[in-house]
Amino acid sequence: MAKRTGSRCGKLRKSEMGVDVDKDEFTSEDYAAFSERLEDNLTALRELLARREFGRGPASMGAEVEMFLVDAQGQPLLVSQQVLDAARDDCFTVELDRFNVECNTAPCELTASPFTSLSRELHQRVAQLEQAAGQHGGRLALTGILPTLEHRHFQASSMTDIPRYRALNRTLRSSRQRPFEIHIDGPEPLHFQHDNVTLEGASTSLQLHLKVKPQQFARVYNAAQLATAPALAASGNSPTLLGHQLWEETRIALFKQSVDERTPDEHRTHRQPRVGFGDGWVSEGPLELFEANIRHFAPMLPVVGKQDALSIARAGGIPDLAELRLHSGTVWRWNRPVYDTTDQGHVRIELRALPAGPSIDDMLANAAFLLGLTLGLCQSKDHHVTDLGFDLAEHNFYRSAQLGLSANLYWPAGKLPRSELASELVPKLIPLARDGLLEAGVPVTDFEPWLEIFEARVVSGRTGARWQRARLAKIEGQRPGRQQALNRMLLEYLELSGQNQPVHRWPQ
């Protein structure tokens, strides 16, 4: 029996947000009070991190999976609240757009067969949601970007009507003072402007949460940063957007641009985007990243909670750090720190870069490789993470998103990094991922089936993105229009995904 570390169903969102957002317009007094609370939260967190008992306990893994709702023809279905009402389970939550839903899974200790636990729960939850969606003429789609999305699906009416999302939309538009601009290169470049944040809902992902001890945070976080690129290169599943063939993981470029608050002048001065890879290796720990979130990014949702965090911390308690969590939830690092009050307080690393789909087995395979490689890099004597320049690690990330297994990646190898195609590098890293999981106490029978799937996919070269491209090309050879071809391709994809066969076994 997998050992859970306390159910996170219905609590993960609260943990990230800190407080409920109950309004969507704010005054200068709101911002001033919120900023003051943020500074108190930082001081309180600094004191918590200094406690010997803070963050103690075994490492654990949990996950979130975002999904699309589609109708029988594969078109977006804007009924998320109705589906969740039918499902009646607080493990599910709405997302920014009404055609998205999210499933939160309970964390499991690494030594207690976490992948078996996650597999069992995902199958149960997806079946539960499928049944609820079916009551409203819908079904689920596990993919990084839904191929059938069109411009008409991103009207203001598509956004989930709750104060948090209305406030995000208003604040981001006010900061920019101009439409959002999407510029994505690729085989069929896409350039257009859009006047709201609903494009963010075109992206769905698998997000992993790894609980780590504070004193190990910097080492594990840096390892996760390096490990993300090869994992992403072999996991691409978002090759199209609005009828254009773009990156293997177009979702990475789209998410960054769809909530970019920066003005043209701030672009020129290279101000950091709210969605980004970071600006350097972490040298100290989680506080470093939380501080950077406050220094670099203005508050977007200045809602003050009820607790006096500093007083609670100094009295020996565990404050909720509501304002810090709420603010950090509006800074979308691809790997970001999360503070949680459970287990006497702890920090996690949220690994956010992997796409949803193509199947549950594929997502488990991706999770096993990324988590294993992260842990393996922490323990390896031959792979010194920070020997690689941070700019090269960032280069790896975006090239992996753009080119997938065809990307040329840099890897630490002493004073001079080596450069290698992802298709050749990734298989060499699988043994390191295996070692990392073993050293962390994950039973070999728990992770080996998933690493075998991951390796078979890399050897075959057939990622979800490549399957979609190849199948689209074959269908277009029969001369339908692009949208009709995308629609036919998606329906075939959904049928195969529902059979839960990993994508490298799908017929082409």
DSSP assignment of 262-316 equals: --HHHHHTTPPPSEE--SS--SS-HHHHHHHHHHHS--SS----S--HHHHHHTT
In whole angstroms, how far apart are CA 467 and each of 233, 240, 368, 457, 471? 14, 12, 22, 11, 6
Q: Which structure tokens are listed for 220?
A: 């594990």
Q: Which structure tokens are listed for 18?
A: 């800190």
* Domain residue spans of the chain: 12-505
DSSP one-letter code for 173: H
Running along the chain, 508 residues long, what does each successive block of 10 average in pLDDT? 48 51 93 97 97 93 98 97 96 97 97 98 97 97 98 96 94 88 96 95 98 96 98 98 98 95 69 92 96 95 95 96 96 97 94 98 98 94 87 98 98 90 98 97 98 98 98 94 96 96 95
Q: What pLDDT sits at residue 388?
A: 95
Q: Which structure tokens are listed for 224?
A: 């996760």
Q: Which of 309, 20, 37, 51 is nearest to 167 (CA)?
A: 20
Alpha helices in 420-477 (DSSP H): 422-439, 444-460, 464-476
**Residue 305 phi, psi dihedral angles, 5° rounding:** -80, -175
Contact of 2 with 61, CB cutoff 8 Å: no
Q: Are strands 100-104 and 92-94 parallel, antiparallel or unpaired?
A: antiparallel
Contact of 375 with 223, CB cutoff 8 Å: yes
Q: Which of 243, 389, 394, 419 is nearest to 333 (CA)?
A: 394
Q: Which of 73, 65, 231 is nearest to 147 (CA)?
A: 73
Name the CATH topology of 12-505: Creatine Kinase; Chain A, domain 2 (3.30.590)
DSSP one-letter code for 139: E
- For 196-207, b where at least 16 C-beta lie within 10 A, e where not — what string? bbbbbbbbbbbb
- Only one residue has tokens 């209305």, namely 166
CA separation for the pair 502, 361 (Å, rounded): 6
pLDDT in tens, 158-192: 999 999 999 999 999 888 888 999 999 999 999 99
Q: Which of 440, 431, 64, 394 is nearest to 232 (CA)?
A: 394
Q: Which residues contact 131 (CB under 8 A, 6 or more apart)?
A: 87
CA separation for the pair 238, 202 (Å, rounded): 10
CA separation for the pair 442, 447 (Å, rounded): 7
Burial of 89 (0-12, 13-18, 19+ CB in 10 A): middle
Task: Give 3-state DSSP helix, strand, coil % of the chain, rounded to 5.
Answer: 50, 15, 35
DSSP-derived 3-state class of residue 113: coil
- Name residue 359's beta-bridge partners: none
Q: What pLDDT sits at residue 4?
A: 55
Q: Which of 204, 219, 237, 215 is nearest to 97 (CA)?
A: 204
Q: What pLDDT sits at residue 508?
A: 84
Q: Which structure tokens are listed for 212?
A: 């780590």
Burial of 280 (0-12, 13-18, 19+ CB in 10 A): middle
CA 335 to chain centre: 8
Q: Which structure tokens are listed for 249?
A: 């993981």
Q: What pLDDT sits at residue 142?
A: 98
